[in-house]
Every structure is written in structure tokens, then in C-alpha cells.
Structure 1
Amino acid sequence: MSTHYSDTLAVSAAAHDHDFLGAAHDANARRTRLVVMLTAAMMVGEIVAGYATGSMALLADGFHMATHAGALSVAALAYAYARRHTHNPAFSFGTGKVGDLAGFASALVLALIALAIGVESLVRLFTPATVAFGEATVIAVIGLAVNIASAALLGHGHDHGHGHDHSHHHDHHDDDDNDTDHRHGHHHHAHGDNNLRSAYVHVLADALTSVLAILALLAARYLGWVWLDPVMGIVGGLVIARWAWTLMQDTAAVLLDRTHGGIASAVRAKMNAAGDVQLTDLHVWRIGPDAHAAIISVRTLGAPLATPVLRDRLNGIESLRHVTIEQH
């Protein structure tokens, strides 16, 4: 993934690829496939056991797991599609944003799940149903164990999937990209696999519902607080809705080519530092988990400058992988 520059004075016609997939793409794809298989196995087991025992609790949880298995499958397919079409010239900037598209779709599914949980919980709050507390608690514990295992698989990639592929950085150094986003508790490098994140959020959502269900079932069984079960459902639905909204916002920003403020500020500062050019137009957008593209237009305040001079000013902004510089 080399960085490419051109200007109105000298335009390079050298061929280059548009492989802007994340450095951990294949590893994250493997993790997601494992979680799909784990979730599907749990789903099938619960549905079969539900039919065999006549347990509606088992059947309900099995079909609930089916929605998550479906969403996780979409994530796995997105990884495969992005890898298969990496070098397809039909995609102008490669397939680095396929994961964001899948993440947005997963966010919509999460929102629907949150709505369904909320509605069902409200119904149960006013018209309580008979619950087999012991059996339901066992189901919830097993489901939680599966979710913890799944979270462990995906969490490694979620926490450390911001790895940097420096093997193709021939045009600039691999320093900080000056993004000041600290949402993850460390210096953020404008990286993030939203496809993996969507799968991770689905697993967390399922784990949350399991934990809340266990607490509510134990309280109902031993304290008689039957009302706590639907209340916990409403709380869980609200939390999941919040996660879905955040994921939807972040993936939509990528799909709509929202300007990355930190990188844009860094480009602006570096281009204007020498005082010999005036930045007239700037576009910076994400084209993959580890990659951004930029179109930079400058007006020289004196004699025209060679493209390498302007190019070298961008040293240190490591996530810029496809850059066009227009000089006029």
C-alpha cells in the first residue's frame, strides 16, 4: 500500500494497487468465523433441546441467538468479500470500507433487537408470564459462557487490531498521525475495524442480556421480585440501543466520507508551516481501517515547488495512503 502523489505540473502514471484492508484483516476474519461457528452451535443446541423438552425458554433463547448468528455471519462474509475483491479495479479506492458497510447493517440489526427486547419487556411488565426459573437460569449461564468465549476471541482483535503495516511506507516516516482522539484510553491512530467492532458489540449485547437475565431470575426465584425480569429487559434494551446508535454513527461517518479532523488539522499545519504555499482546498476521508486518502490543493506564493518538496511535508502522518497534491 504505497502512498501516491501527483500535481498539475507533474503527474505520475505509475501503476499502483488499492489494497487498503486493515493490517489485521485476515486474523480478524478468522476470529469472526470461529465466533460464528460457536454461536451457531449454541443456537442449534438450544433449539433442538427446546423442541425435545418442550421448553419455550430454550426455544426463545435459541431463536434469539439466531439473530446474532446471522449478524455475525454478515461480518464474516464482509471479510471474505473484501479480501476477494481487493484488487478489483471496479472499486476506485479498494474494498477497505466493506467492513464499515457490514458494521452499519449490524448496527441496524442491533437496534431492532433492542426494540424487540424493550417491547417484549414492557408486555411482560404488565402481563407477567410463568417462568421456569431454574431451567431459564441454566440456559442463561450457558449462554453467558458462550458469550464470554466469543468475546475473548473477538476482544483480542478489538483491543489490538490497530496494528500498523509499515512495510509499504516508502514515501514517509512512521510517526504519529497527530489524531487526538482518546476514546480507547490510548493515543488513537485513526485506525479501527468497524466490522470486527460490530461483531464484538453483538457478543457484548448477548452477554449483557444473559447477565441481566441471571440477576433477574435469581431475584425472582429467591426474593419473589418477578417484576425485576422485565425491568432488566428494558435496561438491557436501552443499553443495546445506545451501543447500536454509537456504532451506526461511526460507520455512517466512514460511508459518507466524513473528514477526519485530526488528520486534516495535521495536513493543514504541515503544508502551511513554511509559509510559501496557501492551502486552498483539502479533503481527507477514510478508505480502510488503517488508511486515509487526501486531495490537497495549494497555491504557491512564489515560484512553483517540486512535488517531492510538498510531499515530504506530510512526513509523520502515517495513515495517509493515497494522496493527490494539486498545485496552482
Structure 2
Amino acid sequence: MSHSHLGHDHGHDHSHVPTVSGANERKVLLSFFLIFGFMLVEVVGGILSGSLALLADAGHMLTDAAALALAYAAFRFGRRAADSKRTFGYLRFEVIAGFLNALTLFGIVGWIVYEAIERFRQPGDILASPMMLVAIVGLLINLLVLWIMTRGETEHVNIKGAILHVMGDLLGSVGAITAAIVIYLTGWTPIDPILSMVVALLILRSAWTLMAKSIHILLEGAPDNAKPDEIERKLLASVPDLAAVSHIHVWQITSGRTMATLSVRPAIDSKAKAVSREVEHLLMSDFGIEHSTIAIDWNDDIEDRCSLQQMPHGHGHRHEGHAH
């Protein structure tokens, strides 16, 4: 049965500028300087000690710094107001930055694996004491940055991406410390590339998670807590005078900013306004959908179409030019 979208209800503010606090921006910027600064120290320490684990961790810290820089840039761009060309502003910049973060993680995994294979083929001398000292300082820096990043808002895809980077680097520091202890006590240097490979696998898992989330948003997939079939069941069970729900589309502009369009048919046309308002309220309260566009399927349109279908053939032709 066809339907007519003759009414829409928008009882809310249409501003699509994200509410990114200045505190978010400051913590990202501070974390960037901490990570980037120590990454330079770790490169020098890795070269002097001959440790692949340290160099791998330094490479991962470089991607951490890039992730934080992208997150900061995303926040700055995301604050720009919508215009005639970009009606939702620059909100998707965050998701694109998250996708690029995932790509950098895949890249660093490939580099670590390559270097580890080379170390197995041609083992080198490793100075355990400076390696351990640098790794311990790196662990402390990563713990500090992780503490900073997990204060306050953490739902933005870029904040999550940066946290994943830092957590992976935290594991890298633990691996470097473990390798340094083993080498110091036993002199067994293969532990260095072995633990580097373990860290690479952990980074790979984080990269896959971040990329999957970013691609899901870019493909306008429905968030886990707002599946169309669940929305339909909830609306029909909870909204008085709602007869039917159809054409439900749910997607995210960016992390935490969910939109929806759907058609509703009231039991009685005079109840359409109340039904649409109740539907909008429930979508917001139960599913976190802050922007919903609700089309009304009017009962009188359906009745007119059914009447036309029941008319004799000749009468039906006389009404073809009428709009209902």
C-alpha cells in the first residue's frame, strides 16, 4: 500500500554543531606534546640500545601523536557551523580522522613484523640497562596520557581512537620492559623481536576495531542501540494511537550523533500531531536519536486510494488525474 508524506514534525533545534568542550581540546593537545616529546627520546634510546621493542614502541608513539593531532584537528574543524554546501558542518571529519588512525596502526604493525623477521635472521647486541630505563619512563608517560585522555568525554570516535593508540603503546612499554629484564638476566636477545610481534598482534586487534567502527559510520550503519526492528517494536508497544511504523532509517553523522527518518500512521488522523511528538520524544529518550524526521501516512489518503481501486473500471479512469 502506498503512502503520502504530507506532514513532518521537527520539534527540536536543528543545530548540528557538536558540543566539544574546551577541556577535550586541551587534554588532546597536552597528550600530543607528551607523546611526541617522549617518542623522540625513545627513538634515541632504541638506536643506542639496539632494541627493536623500543623502536617499535617509538613507531607506535609516532602514530599516537598523529592520532592525537588528527583528533585535535577534528575538534577544531567540527566546531565550524553548517553552511549551504555542508548542511551538517564538518562532523564527519572526526570519523575520517578515526579511519586514518586505523590505517596508521596497520602500517606500524607491518613495519614491526618486518623488522622482527630481520632481527631473527641477523640478531644484534642489545644493551638491557638503557633499554629498561627508557621503557620504564615510557610506561609512566603512557599511564599519564591515558589518565588524561579518560577524564571526561570519551565517546567521540577520535577520542576512542587516541585511547586505543595509547593503550597499545602502554602494552608496548610493558613488552619492552619484559624484554629488557629477560636480556639482562639471561642474555637471550630473541625475546626482543618475539615480544615486538606480540605487541604487533595487540595493535592489530585495536586497529581492526577502530577501522570497523569508522567504516560502519561512514556507511551510515545503524548504531547498536538503535536497530530499526527494535525501534518499530518499541514504538508500537509504547505510543498510544500509533497504528503503523514503516520506512525506518537510522544512521550516525559521527560518533554519538544519531539521526533517523521514519513514517508513522496514526490510528486517527486527528491524533497525528500528538503521535509524532510522542514518537520523537521516545526516540530521543530510549534510543538517543537527537534528530528525527517523521513523515505522516494519512488514513484519508489510504481510504481514497482504496475507494479508487474498488470503483468500476470506467470510473477509475475519470479519476486518474486527481491528486490525493
Q: Please tell me the TM-score bracket, short chain as reference.
A: 0.7 to 0.9
Q: CA deviation at 1:13?
A: 9.0
CA deviations 1:97-156 (Å, max 9, x no partner) are 322221111011111111211221122123212112111211111211211111111022
Question: What is the match of residue 19 of structure 1?
Answer: 16
Q: CA deviation at 1:287?
A: 2.2
Whether the aligned pair in 2 keeps the contact of 1:118 and 1:238 (CA below 8 Å) is no
Question: What is the match of residue 99 of structure 2?
Answer: 104
Count of residue correspondences: 286
Whether the aligned pair in 2 keeps the contact of 1:95 and 1:288 (CA below 8 Å) is no
Percent identity between matched residues is 29
Q: Which amino acid aligns with 1:291?
A: R
Q: CA RMSD in A?
A: 2.9
- Aligned-partner SS, 2:261: strand
Question: What is the match of residue 168 of structure 2?
Answer: 205
Structure 2 unaligned spans of 5+ = 298-324
Q: CA deviation at 1:16?
A: 4.9
CA deviations 1:238-291 (Å, max 9, x no partner) are 010011001111111111110125323453124323474222210011124332
Query: Equivalent of 1:71, from 67, 70, 83?
Result: 67
Distance of 2:127 and 2:262 partners within structure 1: 64
Distance of 2:182 and 2:48 partners within structure 1: 25
Aligned in 2, Cα 1:82/1:240: closer, same or farther, shift over 3 Å?
A: same
Distance of 2:36 and 2:68 partners within structure 1: 10
Whether the aligned pair in 1 keeps the contact of 2:245 and 2:262 (CA below 8 Å) is yes
Question: What is the match of residue 227 of structure 1?
Answer: 190
Structure 1 unaligned spans of 5+ = 1-6, 163-191
Whether the aligned pair in 2 keeps the contact of 1:118 and 1:237 (CA below 8 Å) is yes
Query: Equivalent of 1:214, from 165, 177, 183?
Result: 177
Distance of 2:14 and 2:235 partners within structure 1: 26
Q: CA deviation at 1:226?
A: 1.8
Query: Equivalent of 1:271, from 235, 244, 253?
Result: 235
Aligned in 2, Cα 1:57/1:220: closer, same or farther, shift over 3 Å?
A: closer
Tell me if 1:308 matches 2:303. no
Q: CA deviation at 1:228?
A: 1.4
- Aligned-partner SS, 1:315: helix
| Structure with greater Cα Rg | 2
Residue range with higher mean Cα deviation, 116-125 or 87-96:
87-96
Structure 2 counterparts to residues 1-328 of structure 1, below 5 A: 8-11=5-8, 16-21=13-18, 23-46=19-42, 60=55, 65-83=61-79, 85-157=80-152, 161=153, 192-263=155-226, 264-273=228-237, 274=240, 276-300=242-266, 302-303=268-269, 305-316=271-282, 317-318=284-285, 319-328=288-297
Query: Which one has more relative contact order, counting CA pairs under 8 Å at least 6 apart?
Result: 1
- Aligned-partner SS, 1:251: helix
Q: Which amino acid aligns with 2:71?
A: A
Whether the aligned pair in 2 keeps the contact of 1:20 and 1:289 (CA below 8 Å) is no
Whether the aligned pair in 2 keeps the contact of 1:10 and 1:307 (CA below 8 Å) is no
Identify, as 1 or 2, the structure richer in helix. Answer: 2
Aligned in 2, Cα 1:314/1:305: closer, same or farther, shift over 3 Å?
A: same
Q: TM-score, length-normalised on structure 2?
A: 0.77
